Structure 1
Amino acid sequence: MSRGKIVVGLDIGTTKVCAVVAEKDEFGKMNILGMGRSNSEGLQRATVININKTVDAIKEAVSEAEHTSSIKIKGVNVGISGEHVQFVRGNAEVSINPLGIVNHADVLRFVEKAKKNLKYIDIDREIIHAIPQEFIVDDQEGVLDPIGMAGISMKGSVYVVVGMKMRIRNIEHCIAHAGLEIKAMTFEPIASGLAVIKESERKSGVVVIDIGGGTTDIAIYSRGVIRHSGVIKVAAVDVTNDVAIGLKTLHEIAEDLKVKHGCAYMRELMNDEEIQVQGIEGRPPKNFMRSALTNIIEARMIEIFELVRAELKKSGFYDYLNAGAIITGGGSLIPGTQGLAQEILGLDVRIGYPEGISGGIKKDINNPMYATVMGLVAHAFDDMEQHQEQMEALRENERQQKEIAAQIDAPASDSTDEPPESDMPQNAKKPDKSFLLKIKNWLDQI
């Protein structure tokens, strides 16, 4: 990892594990250096049920990513999802530092206090994310970024993601047994949103619907920040299972039929042709019409979008989704999905492809099924930049501490030539040592 700002995203999904190695170019775009993919058999509904199979899949995907990128992978930003992951809203109020200008340290104190103020979190859950939503600086409401604003107090709300400790531990065990370390863990609906949303959509109000293998993840954004998220236990694997049962064939054959001949919306079925299904274990092949396959797929996809619509209504943000919906994930690739979603959801819909990719193996990753892993990469870069800002803020605090300590400890001047303080210009007055001491005490607490 000696090339500089290089990060690795690792998406451990129900049907696939994917690893992506990326760096940022001089324009802030992501350059994809390598990727690896393997089949996943150790998870069910985004939850680990077999450690060994999951570890093997991680090793295979990471090994391929190392080979294609020529970079040894050690740290990864891993995704987490599943019904056990939920969100709660926290609130807090803090005093702004004695200088009266909001800085990074104030925001960090605000977030930490909001986490401590949380109620009704079970002992078997832990916090994954705490993301500020909006601030009120004194009487100024609707502030998204308070840094640099003047005021006395600051309050607001925080979007907090929590998950079951044991299920998080299982992910951590798999990563450790694969010889890797976790740099960060990201809730996958947040990652998918980072990958596919345009800034204008984020401000206008939009929902990202990621139809994965085992779960359908939902994330609602409004006025620039995430407002609501949810996980539905119906997804692409259920469509495949329905095809296998309906056509009485193997799961692998059903998946192939879904990918090659599937359609999610009967109104968009252009050619109703006859399709032959391979027989099982030497049995004769069977023929059926493509419209029969479409009927099976459409029924399950209608269920998925009806569940999504119910979640949107429950959230209270349905009427504020001015930019509509973005559908992404492998399940969005079935022809007709966009049209069916538009009819069921009653929203404008587009298919979401990863944004902000400049080069490297761009063509291999420019696919909705890689939205989550690309969002994990984007989140890793965001974390890196935030860490750098925090370190700079800490260095500035240390500099201020030394400067204030020097002024407090400086001996009083005995010079008789010095004019009386009342005759000095206001901006040239000596600073009040009690005020300096107050600032120093505040800095010591950070």
Structure 2
Amino acid sequence: MRSISNGKDRQLTVGIDIGSSNIRCAIGSIIPDANRVKLLGISSTPSMGFRKGSISHRNQLIEQLEKVLFEAETMADVKVNNAVLAITGNHIRCLNTQAATALNRNRSNGVSGDRAIVETDIDQVLNLSQAISLPPDRDILHTLPQEYSVDTLKEINNPIGLTGRRLEGRVHLVTAATSAMRNIVDCVEEIGIKVNGLVFQPLASAIATLKHDEMQLGVTLAEIGSSTTDIAVYHGGAVRHSAVIPIGSGSITNDIAVMLQISIEEAESIKIKYASAKASLSSPKLEFDLQTENGDGKRSISEHELSRYVEARMQEIFHLIINEISRADIKESLTYGLVLSGGGAQLSNISALAGDLMGMRVRIGTPKHIDGITDIADLPIHSTTMGLLLWPILSNDFAQSNHISMNTFFQKLIQSFKELF
């Protein structure tokens, strides 16, 4: 069993982000009364045994998890025993639903009449909202309140203390494949880490990168990972729509590798050094050499020629993002437009291309509320991991969604283990 070496004077928070290209682990200490975290250690290692949200080789994944955890613990000079995990993948499905409960009976004497709403009423509405027909191989990951209504009063953020006869709640549900969640939890617990919660990746990124006004007045967070692009549309301080697009920046790397007939590793390096998401902003005169496998001859290509292929793939991704935003049916209400995060957001001139295609404000999201090793923490590629560190102290969802949804999931998980033995 692991132990926290100096937990008496510091409350630690740990996040593990298992992606298709990299696994990242971050350890921080919560700064009391500040809603901030001091980053103590962070590590990244190439992902093995994991692809598009599913485990392809369990033992390889466990080995990489042990490695990334050890490196983060070494940097932070602590030992940890629990963590919050990020999850994404093609198996994620999201929907909006609603539920209501009657308030016209006094709890103390059973007499009908208006009464004040208490927290248990909200819990009941959230539980009722989960009463949807799901396949047996799926579970609810998050239950995210959007707004409440009390009788004829609409768009209420917090109805506690209000008086009425009927409480209705509109809710955004995030569902995931039970086996995908179970297998990820099992692998992490195999290395001695207790899983405190699973977080849909764009929600973690949003916690780290979005501002309060953006969430209130309307914004879309697009987390561009290696194999997926995760979407979360916010308005009125709540998630209105979320989705997983099964294409990410890794597709650009593959395109470059195929086009230039080079290795994936070299293609990734070229993408980082020379590619522009908007070809018109790249130089047709600046050329760079390409390695040849047999060493015969010498090849070169211009930044502009390379970027033409990169732009074509990025246009495809942005059109898919536009489609998801349209499903939220609030595009005209997105005052703050689009925030890009994740490794793909570090592509040169990506915000310029997005602004042209989408006709809205675009900015690159970088983690906030983080102290300590800020030169590392402030990169878009670490948005999810930093969000996981902040999740227990900043997310309203941590108290209610993880209490309801995660308890339901882990109860089923425990029951399944009992049935096995």
Q: Report the Cα offset of residue 306 of structure 1.
A: 1.1
3-state SS in 1 of match to 2:180 = helix
Q: 1:156 and 1:265 mapped to 2: Cα distance?
A: 43
Q: 1:41 and 1:348 mapped to 2: Cα distance?
A: 37
> What are the residue-to-residue correspondences of 1:61-140 with 2, within 5 Å?
61-96=68-103, 98=107, 100-116=115-131, 118-119=132-133, 121-140=134-153
Q: Unaligned stretches of 5+ in structure 2?
A: 109-114, 404-421
Q: 2:399 and 2:219 mapped to 1: Cα distance?
A: 28
3-state SS in 1 of match to 2:97 = strand
Q: 1:50 and 1:78 mapped to 2: Cα distance?
A: 19
3-state SS in 2 of match to 1:19 = strand
Count of residues in correspondence between the two structures = 387
> What are the residue-to-residue correspondences of 1:322-337 with 2, within 5 Å?
322-337=335-350
Q: 2:296 and 2:251 mapped to 1: Cα distance?
A: 25
Q: Does 1:212 align with 2:221?
A: no
Distance 1:147 1:264, change over 3 A: same
The 8 Å contact of residues 148 and 169 in structure 2, kept in 1 or not, is answered as: yes
The 8 Å contact of residues 262 and 294 in structure 1, kept in 2 or not, is answered as: yes
Distance 1:351 1:384, change over 3 A: closer
Specify the code of the residue in structure 1 equivalent to 2:380: P
> What are the residue-to-residue correspondences of 1:21-100 with 2, within 5 Å?
21-25=27-31, 26-96=33-103, 98=107, 100=115
Q: Unaligned stretches of 5+ in structure 1?
A: 392-446
Q: Does 1:11 align with 2:17?
A: yes
The 8 Å contact of residues 207 and 394 in structure 2, kept in 1 or not, is answered as: no
Q: Does 1:279 align with 2:288?
A: no
Which residue is 1:371 aligned to?
Answer: 383
Q: 1:200 and 1:285 mapped to 2: Cα distance?
A: 53
Q: What TM-score do you get using the length of structure 2 for normalisation?
A: 0.87
Q: Report the Cα offset of residue 169 of structure 1.
A: 1.9
The 8 Å contact of residues 239 and 297 in structure 1, kept in 2 or not, is answered as: yes
Q: Report the Cα offset of residue 229 of structure 1.
A: 0.5
For the pair shown, which has the larger CA radius of gyration, 1 or 2?
A: 1
3-state SS in 2 of match to 1:148 = coil
Which residue is 2:201 aligned to?
Answer: 188
Q: 1:314 and 1:153 mapped to 2: Cα distance?
A: 29
Among the aligned pairs, what percent are the same residue?
28
The 8 Å contact of residues 37 and 60 in structure 1, kept in 2 or not, is answered as: no
3-state SS in 1 of match to 2:145 = strand
Distance 1:341 1:82, change over 3 A: same
Q: 1:21 and 1:223 mapped to 2: Cα distance?
A: 31
Distance 1:185 1:281, change over 3 A: farther
Q: CA RMSD in A?
A: 2.1
The 8 Å contact of residues 133 and 159 in structure 1, kept in 2 or not, is answered as: yes
| Range 322-331 or range 83-92, more displaced | 83-92
The 8 Å contact of residues 13 and 30 in structure 2, kept in 1 or not, is answered as: no
3-state SS in 2 of match to 1:88 = strand
> What are the residue-to-residue correspondences of 1:394-405 with 2, within 5 Å?
none
The 8 Å contact of residues 203 and 222 in structure 1, kept in 2 or not, is answered as: yes
Specify the code of the residue in structure 2 equivalent to 1:364: I
3-state SS in 2 of match to 1:379 = helix
Q: Deviations for 1:41-64, whole angstroms, at most 9, x for unmatched residues?
A: 222223221212211221111111
3-state SS in 1 of match to 2:173 = strand
Q: What TM-score do you get using the length of structure 1 for normalisation?
A: 0.82
Q: Report the Cα offset of residue 384 of structure 1.
A: 9.3
3-state SS in 2 of match to 1:71 = coil
Q: 2:285 and 2:26 mapped to 1: Cα distance?
A: 39
Which residue is 1:290 aligned to?
Answer: 303
Q: Report the Cα offset of residue 386 of structure 1.
A: 6.0
